């Protein structure tokens, strides 16, 4: 796997339209509650927002969209809600994969899959295999994912392959073992639902990502909301540790 530039080791090129957007799709439960509906209706409705966001990203030329669907801490929720989310996930994969494939979208799933039942694991693998050659947008779904799990898992895997590195290894050694080690770090992070926290999402990869928080609840997030987030990103000054004056005088370089 090629080593990609890391934002802490090399200054990345800044794209006008973010190459990679990471989203915490939050607020499903509150959306449903506001309408006196069970929380699960919010999750169901959230699938439509995801569909619209995928389409908008593809149209806008975003290369990577990574969404947080289920965190390693979401197992703490009531059993009924967890099992609804699992069956929704399965249904969504079964129903959407053909259209993703038709639209040249590559689907990837990150997270610890070992806790999912066999059917879900199999369906995930099949969907990834079917779409693996696609060259359009890469949609990555984080399921039973946690940023700490990701880092721990990467270190374990690195040391399994390279026990000689146990006393000393570099960022470049570790990077290929991280879940998103083969794609550029997110340029823009969006969290819907009003909370201003990372909730254990891509802790490593968000090092220099521009953060955008909106009160809009995920089930009503749409293309217009996405464009607002991108417009906010386009007004940011990404300094990566340098001063504004340096940015004016020197083109992006390490």
- CA neighbours within 13 Å on the CB side: how many for 238? 23
Annotate each residue in 170-209 with x if it binds ligand IPE (CB under 6 A) or - if it does not, as one string: -----------------------x-x-x-x----------
CB of 24 to Mg ion, least distance (A): 8
Residue with tokens 């999912």: 116
- Is residue 157 near ligand IPE by the rule CB under 6 A? no
Site string for ligand IPE, 76-95 (x = CB under 6 A): ---------x----------
> In the chain, how many H helices and how many E strands?
8, 6
How big is the CA angle at 226 (ends 5 and 83), to the nearest 5 degrees? Answer: 90
**Closest distance to Mg ion from the beta carbon of 115 (Å):** 20
Size of the site for ligand IPE (CB under 6 A): 17
CB contact set of 191 (below 8 Å; sequence gap of 6+): 23, 24, 26, 197, 211, 212, 213, 214
Q: Tell which one of 11, 26, 138, 185 touches ligand IPE (CB under 6 A).
A: 26
Among 3-11, 20-28, 107-115, 116-124, the segment contacting ligand IPE (CB under 6 A): 20-28
Alpha-carbon distance of 202 to 189, in angstroms, equals 10
What gap in Å lies between CA 149 and CA 111, rounded to an integer? Answer: 8
CB of 163 to Mg ion, least distance (A): 40
C-beta of residue 84 within 8 angstroms of C-beta of residue 69: no
Minimal distance in Å, beta carbon 132 to ligand IPE? Answer: 24
Q: Choose between 158 and 225: whose C-beta lies nearer to ligand IPE.
A: 225
Query: Contact with Mg ion (CB under 5 A): which of 6, 20, 26, 229?
Result: 26
Residues 6+ apart with CB under 8 A from 239: 246, 247
> Which residues sit at the interface with ligand IPE, rule CB under 6 A?
24-30, 68-71, 74, 85, 193, 195, 197, 199
């Amino acid at each position: 796997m090629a080593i990609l530039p890391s934002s802490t080791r090399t200054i990345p090129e800044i794209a006008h339209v973010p190459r990679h957007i990471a989203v915490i799709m939050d607020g499903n439960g509150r959306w449903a509650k506001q309408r006196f509906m069970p929380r699960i209706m919010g999750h169901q409705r959230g699938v439509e927002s995801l569909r619209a966001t995928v389409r908008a990203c593809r149209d806008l030329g975003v290369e990577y969209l990574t969404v947080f669907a289920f965190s390693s801490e979401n197992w703490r929720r009531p059993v009924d809600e967890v099992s609804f989310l699992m069956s929704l996930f399965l249904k969504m994969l079964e129903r959407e994969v053909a259209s993703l494939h038709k639209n040249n979208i590559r689907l990837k799933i990150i997270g610890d899959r070992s806790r999912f039942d066999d059917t879900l694991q199999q369906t995930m693998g099949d969907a990834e295999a079917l779409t693996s050659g696609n060259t359009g947008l890469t949609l990555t779904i984080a399921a039973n994912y946690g940023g700490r799990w990701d880092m721990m898992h990467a270190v374990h895997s690195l040391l399994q392959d390279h026990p000689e590195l146990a006393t000393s290894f570099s960022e470049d050694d570790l990077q290929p073992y991280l879940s998103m080690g083969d794609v550029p770090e997110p340029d823009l992070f969006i969290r819907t639902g009003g909370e201003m926290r990372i909730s254990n999402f891509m802790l490593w990869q968000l090092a220099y990502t521009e953060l955008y928080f909106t009160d809009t609840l995920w089930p009503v997030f749409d293309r217009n909301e996405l464009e607002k987030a991108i417009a906010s990103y386009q007004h940011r000054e990404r300094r990566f540790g340098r001063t504004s004056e340096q940015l004016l005088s020197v083109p992006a370089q390490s």
